[in-house]
Chains A and B, each alone.
Chain A
Amino acid sequence: MNAATVCPECAAPISVPADVFPNEIVQCGDCAIDLEVVALQPLSLAPAPEEEEDWGE
């Protein structure tokens, strides 16, 4: 069953799949911000870390 909360940026309702991983990145369907799953029980989302200069592949 999906878990639900609200977007910390725009307060839109947001749900994530039941098999979501801790620290997984999800996107808000309303404001499109990247969010990190910081806790599962209860579900908690926070804006994902900003890209830094040495990030990449």
Chain B
Amino acid sequence: MNDRAATKSPSVGMLFTRIRVEEKLLLKAFKRSGVPVTLMDDRELVLDPQGSNASLPGLVINRSMSYYRGLYATSILEDLGVLTLNRSTVNHNCGDKIKTTAALVRAGLPVPRTKIAFTLSAARESAEELGFPLVLKPVIGSWGRMVARLNDQDALEAVIEHRVFLGGSLHSVFYLQEYINKPQRDIRAFVVGRETVAAIYRYSDHWITNTARGGRTVNCPVTPEINSLATAAAEAVGGGVLAVDMLETAAGRILVNEVNHTMEFRNSIDVTGVDIPGAISDYALALLPTVELPRA
């Protein structure tokens, strides 16, 4: 916190890339609470780290679809004394899979066995330790994009060669994970603050169960185990409004796989009966100061 942190006003902004169903539902939820929301298009945004916060909202909800735009925008906004949801450190911990796994491991949470390697030879060695099949994921990315299940060394070498020739430093960071033979579904739990407000199963015939890839959603009862893992995972990455993805092993254990910082929830409201955007807006508004404070 710096001196400018005390100048925030009780107004809300929403950083966005596209106005999708989720953003519309959030805007309607804030409207129901009587709070106008200033839309902040991340394509037009210019942030000045040395500037004034006079024209900025007191709280900005990060709904940017771009990891880097959201990360850097929330970071600068925080320096300017603006509250952010989620905070930049949380965005960093969730948007970078290595940071996520590290945070979950530090918190003592069960995660799939994971290795990180920077060369093909080191990746080969990692694969021998993990065994095949295994999963190779991009460090940054979502919606199951560029996630590969590798069944043998030939596949590993082929995919890594492609990654390296794509160029860019991050394509040569290899995040390798044991393949979890899950029961055609995974679990997504929605955490708002300290509460798991809802959970869904995501079913798919494909091993990638993301709803962005056609996964089907069904209500998942929030058991004490799911609640405990979800809230602990959310806390491990810094807390806020988060979607915690979990995998069930054949032995019946639940592993925490990923945590999402700009969660999509359009397919989860009807099946759970939970007003997820309403829960988010209530949580966000509770963060705001109740009186207008002097401006810098």
- Asked if A23 and B16 make an inter-chain contact with CB atoms under 8 angstroms apart, the answer reads yes
11 cross-chain CB contacts under 8 A: A21-B19, A22-B19, A22-B39, A23-B19, A24-B19, A25-B18, A54-B95, A56-B67, A56-B95, A56-B142, A56-B262
Contact bitstring A21-57, B, C-beta under 8 A = 1, else 0: 1111100000000001100000000001100111111
Q: CB-CB < 8 A to B67: which residues of A?
A: 54-56
B262 & A57 in contact (Cβ 8 Å cutoff): yes
Q: How many residues belonging to A are interface residues under a CB distance threshold of 8 Å? A: 15
* CB nearest to A25 among chain B residues: B18
B142-A21 in contact (CB<8A): no
Q: How far is the CB of A49 from chain B (nearest CB, A)?
A: 7
**9 A-B pairs closest in CB distance:** A56-B142, A54-B67, A24-B19, A23-B19, A55-B65, A57-B260, A21-B19, A57-B264, A57-B262
Name 9 extra pairs, CB < 8 A, besides A22-B39, A24-B24, A56-B260: A21-B23, A24-B19, A49-B17, A49-B43, A54-B67, A55-B65, A56-B142, A57-B262, A57-B263
Chain B: residues with Cβ within 8 Å of the partner, total of: 27
- Contact residues in B for A56 (Cβ distance below 8 Å): 65, 67, 95, 141-143, 145, 260, 262
Pairwise interchain contact A54-B27, C-beta atoms closer than 8 A: no
Interface residues of B in 47-65 (CB under 8 A from A): 65
* Docked CA distance A33–B217 (Å): 25
Residues of B within 8 A of A37 (CB): 19
B260 & A54 in contact (Cβ 8 Å cutoff): no
Whether A23 contacts B142 in the complex (CB less than 8 A), given A48-B18, A56-B67, A57-B262, comes out as no
Q: Which of A36, A37, A56 has the most CB of B within 10 A?
A: A56
Task: Give CA–CA (A55, B16) in the complex, Å.
Answer: 12
**B68 with A54: CB separation less than 8 A:** yes
| A17 CA / B225 CA spacing, docked (Å) | 43
- Interface check B38, CB cutoff 8 A: no
B227-266 CB contacts (< 8 Å) to partner A: 243, 260-264
Least distance between A23 CB and chain B CB atoms (Å) = 4
> How near does chain A come to B15, taking the closest CB pair, in angstroms?
12
Q: Which of A21, A25, A36, A57 contacts B143 (CB 8 A)?
A: A57
Q: Are B140 and A54 in contact (CB under 8 A)?
A: yes
